[in-house]
Chains A and B, each alone.
Chain A
Amino acid sequence: MDLFNVVIQTLDSTIRLSVPLLLACLAGLYSERSGIFDIGLEGKMLAGAFASAAAASVLNSAWLGLSVGILVSVALALVHGFASITHRGNQIVSGVAINFVAAGSTVILGQAWFQQGGRTPALTPPERFDAITFPGADAVAGVPVVGPIYAQLISGHSLLVYVAFLAVPFTWWVLFRTRFGLRLRAVGENPAAVDTAGISVAWLRYRAVICTGILTGIAGAYLAMVQNAGFVKDMTAGKGYIALAALIFAKWKPVNAMFACLLFGFLDALSIRLQGTPLPIIGRVPAQFMQALPYVLTVILLAGFIGKAIPPKAGGVPYVKER
């Protein structure tokens, strides 16, 4: 296999691996931009994955699976909103709670309903999102350089992959070109000002949290219905936290978020590809080092050594109307 093919394949798996990160990262973006910290991305994604896989296998439809996944994820997001917006609870604590509830209940319910040790039944084509082949992809596949790029990198992914990448410009447009986005950003920076303008802080934040739920639901559905054929216990495996890291890495900006997720996805793809193969000069890199790299990079970034990540000003602070 020549080098070019290796590169194309690595980039292809980079795209596949970064999709759940990207969706979760954008999900966190909505919430955190509105001033609600969300540690619970992981849990919502996991619950979304389980719900979508379970519904898809019972109802025999990928679309119904996706919808149920989104519904469950939004429900959890609303719990987070109820605790942190309505009851002004600690947002970190609430997020942690949601992660545990999701981790436990997906396994318990999965075992009780499907009796497969916490898995859901394997999904077959009508219950999964198939790869979409773009027009002409097969025809140009033979063309050197451009062919493989078009046929393998751009075409041939599942619908949800395109949804994820289209969500980037869409999120940018919502945040920076719509009234809702302006208010959303404002409520994350200075909720008192938004309140003074006669806009409900709570309702605005609830809407942001719902957006988060929708996106984590899609991320979960992607994991269960595209990347895998069914739900497996703990299948998010820390992706929610990597997404959080990517969000910080991206300094809470949608386009940066995409690049951060692609970077972390690339590291993941690279660590899979490099397993056991020695590199020139450095020698064999332990897979664990590659796995830890996103976290190390985030810590270094947080430390302010590669630019400074400044979170939304009102993030994590419950809004109390002046009395």
Chain B
Amino acid sequence: MSTPYAKLPAWADYGLIPLLNLAVAFVVAGLVVLLVGENPFRAAVILVEGAFGRGQGIAYTLFYATTFIFSGLSVAVAIHCGLFNIGGEGQGYIAGLGIAIVCLAFDHVLPWYLLFPIAIVAAALFGALWALIPAWLQARRGSHIVITTIMFNFIAASLMVYMLVDVIKPVGAMAPQTRNFAAGGQLPKLNWLIELFGFSHIRSAPFNVSFLLALVMAWLVWLLIWRTRLGYEIRTYGFSPKAARYAGISETRIIVVTMMISGALAGMMALNPTMGDQHNVALDFVSGAGFVGIAVALMGRSHPVGIVLAAILFGLLYQGGAELSFEMPNISRDMIVIIQGLVILFAGALEHMFRPSIQTLFASINPKSVGMAEAGKEA
């Protein structure tokens, strides 16, 4: 065996193996449910029904998915460049500061359709700037981006606590958050979109226009990565930094630009929970969504289509998980954190676990399909 990972047909590579990895992750999650003393199959049914059974559930599922699309895209862009941006959480958190500044300044003056673009720019800018220092340090000083972005998550958390508690919080208020945004800082809901499909009236779900922005961004990321010169350079660098250097691609430029794009996408994820849902910027409003992006990107194999699908799956888990905790008091939202971890483990770290056996399987059925025929001839 000269090549450990011989080529598989595309459908096996992009369909079978990810699904198999996902299935194993869910089987292990099912075992945890069993350990807690509940029936995993009933849990799965409640989960799916909670997420897709009613219009309300769908709206919530898509609301959560919106945030995860942004954070997934953020991680994916960096992965294409061979970088692991674990700092989406902090970049999104800091972006909340940008949103807060813009909204607090203009929410009484501008209507939402004028304020939203400004807020997008502000969120993207703050997120990108928070990624800039780790990127520059990686490019010029060789500090490991994973460590620096983790450190920046913590620095962001401290900074935001300070800003929200000591600076932005309205005088006399107790909760560490901004005042509520006026009409200009509130994004219109998209619930009517789901009602169009014949679902009953949705009373209160925060599904809003930032979902459309997420889809546009997914398309733009596809365009960037596979249809532009910059995207080609990003992929080249990710595939082989040596080759990129040889081709005259500036290492510093590519790392800094990619990380800033990644940070900007992570920053945009802050729009959904703040302007779309709570209408303020509160302590810990990101609540782990940046980390979910890692699972989403790995599951979606860093392709925007895969990411949107994976984000919806995680949206389903979040919404269904909330329903599940009513039905099964032993299972709380934290179950999703386990599933998230298992998905990262099996779809990310152990992604090659089944590859050898599947290759053997394919080879035994049809040697040509895995390119073994030529190898056989040589021997």
Q: Which A residues are in CB contact (< 8 Å) with B86?
A: 39, 92, 96
User: What range describes how many residues of A lie at the interface?
Assistant: 35 or more
**In the complex the two chains form, what is the Cα distance from A292 to B151 in whole Å?**
9
A132 at the interface (CB under 8 A from B): no
Answer yes or no: A98 CB below 8 A from chain B CBs.
yes
Shortest distance from the beta carbon of B355 to any chain A beta carbon, whole Å: 9
Query: Contacts A79-B345, A97-B348, A98-B345 known; A105 to B338 CB distance under 8 Å?
Result: yes
Write out the residue numbers on chain B whose beta carbons fall within 8 Å of the beta carbon of A31. Answer: none
With beta carbons under 8 angstroms apart, the residue of B35, B133, B161, B342 that contacts A97 is B342
Pair A104/B340 contact, Cβ less than 8 Å? yes
Is A94's beta carbon under 8 Å from chain B?
yes
Q: How far, in angstroms, from A97 to B298 measured CA to CA in the complex?
A: 11
Q: Tell me if B2 is interfacial: C-beta within 8 Å of chain A.
A: yes
- Take A94-B349, A108-B330 as given contacts and tell me if A101 and B151 are in contact as well, using a CB distance cutoff of 8 Å: no
Q: How long is the Cα–Cα vector from A302 to B148 in the complex, in angstroms?
A: 8
| CB closest chain-A residue, reference B165 | A288
Chain B residues with CB under 8 Å of A91's CB are 349
- A93, B298: Cβ atoms closer than 8 Å: yes
Q: Which of A61-69, A192-200, A206-214, A240-248 contacts the other chain?
A: A240-248
- Residues from chain A with a CB closer than 8 A to the CB of B161 are 288
Within A10-69, the residues touching B (CB, 8 Å) are 39
Across the interface, which residues of B come within 8 angstroms of A87, CB to CB?
349-350, 352-353
- A-side contacts of B151, CB under 8 Å: 241, 245, 295-296, 298-299, 302
Are the C-beta atoms of B162 and A286 separated by less than 8 Å? yes
Q: Which residues of chain A are within 8 angstroms of B147 by Cβ–Cβ distance?
A: 244-245, 248, 298, 302
A39: chain B residues within 8 A (beta carbon): 86, 146, 150
- Residues of A contacting B332 with CB < 8 Å? 107-108, 111
- Chain B nearest CB, measured from A316 CB (Å): 8
Interface residues of B in 240-295 (CB under 8 A from A): 291, 294-295
Q: Is the CB of A101 within 8 A of B338?
A: yes
A104-B4 Cα distance, complex, nearest whole Å: 34
Task: Check B351 against A89 for contact (C-beta < 8 Å).
Answer: yes
Name which of B32, B143, B340 has the most chain A CB atoms within 10 A of its CB: B143
* Residue B334 is within 8 A (CB to CB) of chain A in the complex: yes
Contacts of A292 in B (CB 8 A): 154-155, 158-159
A6 at the interface (CB under 8 A from B): no
Residues of B within 8 A of A286 (CB): 162, 166
In the complex, what's the smallest C-beta–C-beta distance from B29 to chain A, in angstroms?
9
User: Is B159 in contact with A89, judged by CB distance below 8 angstroms?
Assistant: no
**Scoring A residues 116 to 142 as 1 if CB is less than 8 Å from chain B, else 0, what string do you get?**
001000000000000000000000000
Is the pair A105, B32 in contact by a Cβ cutoff of 8 Å? yes
CB distance from A108 to the nearest CB of B (A): 5
Q: How far is the CA of A320 from the CA of B144 in the complex (A)?
A: 23
CB of A323 within 8 Å of the partner chain:
yes
Instruction: Closest B residue to A291 by CB, please name it.
Output: B158
Q: Is the CB of B348 within 8 A of A94?
A: yes
Let me know if A147 is at the binding interface, CB within 8 A. no
Contacts of B351 in A (CB 8 A): 89
- A83 near B: Cβ within 8 Å? yes
Tell me the complex Cα distance, A158–B20, Å: 48
A170 at the interface (CB under 8 A from B): no
Nearest CB in chain B: distance from A308 CB, A? 9
Interface members, chain A 295-323 (any B CB < 8 Å): 295-296, 298-299, 302-304, 309, 311, 320, 323
| Chain A interface residues (CB < 8 Å from chain B) | 39, 79, 82-84, 87-94, 96-105, 107-109, 111-112, 118, 238, 241, 244-245, 248, 286, 288-289, 291-292, 295-296, 298-299, 302-304, 309, 311, 320, 323
5 A–B pairs (Cβ distance < 8 Å), ordered by A:
A104-B339, A112-B35, A244-B147, A291-B158, A299-B148
Known pairs A92-B146, A109-B35, A238-B154 / 7 extra A-B pairs, C-beta < 8 Å: A88-B352, A92-B86, A93-B345, A96-B341, A108-B330, A244-B150, A288-B161
Give me the interface of B with A, judged by CB distance under 8 Å: 1-2, 4, 32, 35-37, 84, 86, 133, 137, 141-144, 146-148, 150-152, 154-155, 158-159, 161-162, 166, 291, 294-295, 298, 330-332, 334-342, 344-345, 348-353
